[in-house]
Structure 1
Amino acid sequence: MADITDIKSILYTEKTLGMQEDNVIVVQTSPRMTKTGLKEVFREYFGIVPSNINSLNQSGKVKRFRGVAGKQNDFKKFYVKLPEGAQIESLAV
């Protein structure tokens, strides 16, 4: 069962801010989140049913620190299209 704690963050970059003008929010979640789970979270906590959701699995980058190789965590990104006129006040920039 999906929960609001599975959402790690809302991504705010130059590209995603431009997408927000078209009612698209980019959400970073844990890899176990599904589209139906994310739709339930939006309906339960925000009172909005997304009109479309696209997902993307993002592998963690391999980085070196003081000569030791390490790997960043994997995550999943969701592109959530909100219905026309719907807005989440707490996420507005």
Structure 2
Amino acid sequence: MADITDIKSILYTEKTLGLQEDGVIVVQTSPRMSKTGLKEVFREYFGIIPTKINSLNQSGKVKRFRGVQGKQNDFKKFYVTLPEGAQIESLAV
């Protein structure tokens, strides 16, 4: 079962702020989250049923720190389209 703790963050970039004007919220989650699980979280915690959800698996970048090679964490990104006129007050910028 999906939980609100699986959502890592809401992404606020120049591109995502432009999408928010069209009713699309970009959410970064753990890789195990599914579309149906995210839809369930939005319905339960925010009281909104998304009209469309697109997902994207993002691999972590390989980085070097003091000569030691490491890898950033993998994550999943969801583009959540809200119904017309629906808005989440706590997420508004």
Runs (4+) off by over 6 Å: none
**Counterpart residue number, 1:4:** 4
Aligned-partner Cα distance in 1 for 2:32–2:65: 28
Q: CA RMSD in A?
A: 0.2
Residues 6-85 of structure 1: pairs in structure 2 closer than 5 A? 6-85=6-85
How far off is 1:29 after superposition?
A: 0.1
Give the gaps of 5 or more residues in structure 2: none
How far off is 1:44 after superposition?
A: 0.1
How far off is 1:39 after superposition?
A: 0.2
SS across alignment from 2:40: helix
Aligned-partner Cα distance in 2 for 1:80–1:48: 11
SS across alignment from 1:84: coil
Q: TM-score, normalised by structure 1?
A: 1.00
Aligned-partner Cα distance in 1 for 2:63–2:92: 33
* Cα deviations by residue, 1:43-68 (Å, 9 ceiling, x for unpaired): 00000000000000000000000100
Identity fraction in percent = 91
How far off is 1:20 after superposition?
A: 0.2
* Cα deviations by residue, 1:3-62 (Å, 9 ceiling, x for unpaired): 000000000000000000000000000000000000000000000000000000000000
